[in-house]
Amino acid sequence: MQELRLWSVLLVSLCMVFITRSTANEIRYKLRISEKGSRFTENVIINVKENTVRFTVPKHNDVESSDVLNDFNQNLTITRLPDQGMCHVRPLDKSLPHPREMKSNMDYVRRTNALKRKQSMLVTSTQWTLRKQLKMKDLPRSVVKFCFGLPTYSLKEIKQDDWKVEQESASGRVRRSRKSQFAFCKTTYPPEVFQCQPEVWRLNCKIRTVRTCTYWVRCPSIKDLPNFDLSQCDVDHNWTQLVCCDPSCPPKGSG
């Protein structure tokens, strides 16, 4: 998975990690987070037996409220967007820590308050577009159960080269349609949009208002921690955006 990765210090801080409920197979954490002046609590449920990690994030700043389920058995990330009335399914990022590893990291930081001594954060960002609506009968049981009957769409990742070509197309320098790469922003358009062939459409692409994010703790392995110095632990912040495009015909006489 191609991602934009950068380090952030101070803009976002993790205030506290604590447990709300724990069983033999499942443990629930609350992460109190301060982001750009907004304070909110993210709930994280790690289920070792089912091999899943679930994040529940409230609406904050320009980010949608969401439920995100990382299913390591199906290798899928499933995102439920209650305000949008839809579900998204995309491939699981292979770099994500497995439930047992994430549980260990969260427990370490909770016991030591290590992140109060170090506020660095790795931020990853990916851009996606809707690919197609999926039929419930073809979906794994975990997806059907998590999406609660909401319309469910597969996502396709936008690579940097795709975005570059699309921006050039929108400015008229590339005279070919990338219709297959991007979803439309609207379900209906005025008739004049279809007075020209898709091959010459000019596409105005933009980031949708749908943005989601999740936070978790990441630590080096115990053997790599000098004197078990847990101040080396950091925060991972992953946020995703949906891209869509509006088509239009080129002006008459533009060639």
Report yes or no on 26 lying in a domain.
Answer: yes
Give whole-number Cα distances, 48 to 5, 23, 76, in Å.
28, 10, 16
Report yes or no on 161 lying in a domain.
Answer: yes
More confident residue, 230 or 95: 95
- pTM of the complete model: 0.79
Tokens describing residue 134:
């999926």
Report pLDDT for 16.
63
Q: Which residues contact 249 (CB under 8 A, 6 or more apart)?
A: 192, 193, 195, 196, 200, 201, 202
15 in Cβ contact with 34 (< 8 Å) = yes
Report yes or no on 216 lying in a domain.
Answer: yes
Report yes or no on 80 lying in a domain.
Answer: yes
53 in Cβ contact with 199 (< 8 Å) = no
Give whole-number Cα distances, 89 to 74, 135, 185, 197, in Å.
11, 12, 19, 31
**What's the pLDDT band for 88 if we cut at 50, 70, 90?**
very high
For the chain, helix, strand, coil in percent to 5 are: 20, 45, 35
Domain containing 110 equals 4-248
Q: What confidence tens digit (pLDDT) does each residue in 152-164 have?
A: 999 988 875 555 5
Q: Which amino acid is at 139?
A: L
Measured in Å, how far apart are the chain's first and last C-alpha atoms?
A: 38
Report yes or no on 254 lying in a domain.
Answer: no
Report how many domains make up the chain: 1
Compute the distance between CA of residue 247 and CA of residue 179 in angstroms, rounded to an integer. 9
Task: Calculate mean pLDDT across residues 54-68.
Answer: 92
Range scoring the smallest mean pLDDT among 85-94, 133-142, 217-226: 217-226
32 in Cβ contact with 232 (< 8 Å) = no
More confident residue, 106 or 114: 106
Compute the distance between CA of residue 236 and CA of residue 216 in angstroms, rounded to an integer. 5
Report yes or no on 253 lying in a domain.
Answer: no
Compute the distance between CA of residue 60 and CA of residue 57 in angstroms, rounded to an integer. 9
Range scoring the smallest mean pLDDT among 32-41, 46-55, 128-137, 227-236: 227-236
Q: Which residues contact 241 (CB under 8 A, 6 or more apart)?
A: 125, 126, 127, 128, 207, 208, 210, 211
Report yes or no on 107 lying in a domain.
Answer: yes
Q: Is 209 helix (H, G, I), strand (E, B) or coil?
A: strand
Report yes or no on 255 lying in a domain.
Answer: no
Compute the distance between CA of residue 21 and CA of residue 200 in angstroms, rounded to an integer. 57
Report pLDDT for 28.
92
Give whole-number Cα distances, 30 to 19, 61, 62, 79, 241, in Å.
6, 19, 21, 19, 24
